[in-house]
Amino acid sequence: VDVKPIDTLRPGLKRLFEELDRFFADNTYQCDFVTVTDSLTLKVEGLLRYFSEKIGIATFKTRQKGSDKLVMEKLLDDLLADIAHKPPLKPDQKTNFDEEDRILIKYVLAEKAGLNLRNAVAHSLMDIFEYSFEHVVVLFCIILKLSKYKFIETKGDTNDSSSK
């Protein structure tokens, strides 16, 4: 089965455009951006994990707990650090990921001084009035920014991402 990121993005994007269509047909319509925001926020993180796997960056880490070795998914902050073009802890790794894109994603999804949408959505911390068109627009912009990346096979078994 060939799973593509668009398969999981499609329902949230479809819902976004349905809401906008309803609003443009009746400008008194109150858009419901709860499911759109919740879906697209988590799907952006999923895209980052998918891209990381494609370019050979592990999306999990191991941790020792007593005598057991646990395997767990990396936190979003760790994933964002790893996709930097030249991560400080891995100077030989080059991802070609635009730093501006990475900073925007970090601000929107993970920064406490930013929107921190991923945390707010995952822990159900948003009240109904906090779901806004502005959040949907910035999430949509991130998805558009991520859509510019292509995976180019390089010599050997490794993949590289490039923005073209």
Which residue ranges make up each domain of the chain?
Answer: 5-127+141-150
CA 68 to chain centre: 31
Element containing residue 25 per DSSP (H, E): helix 5-25
> What confidence score (pLDDT) does residue 113 get?
97
Query: Tokens representing 49?
Result: 């994990």
Nearest to 60 by CA among 45, 76, 71: 71
Q: What is the tens place of the pLDDT at every residue in 109-160?
A: 999 999 999 999 999 999 999 999 999 999 999 999 999 988 765 554 444 4
pLDDT at 152: 65
The mean predicted confidence, pLDDT, of the chain is: 90
Comparing C-alpha atoms, which of 97, 96, 118, 94 is closest to residue 106? Answer: 118
Question: Region 98-116: what's the mean pLDDT?
Answer: 97
DSSP string, 50-104: HHHHHTT--SEEEEEETTEEEEEEPPHHHHHHHTSSS-TT-TT------HHHHHH
Give this prediction's pTM: 0.85
Q: Report d(CA 102, CA 81) in Å as an integer.
A: 9
Percent with pLDDT over 90 in the chain: 72
Q: What's the pLDDT score for residue 163?
A: 47
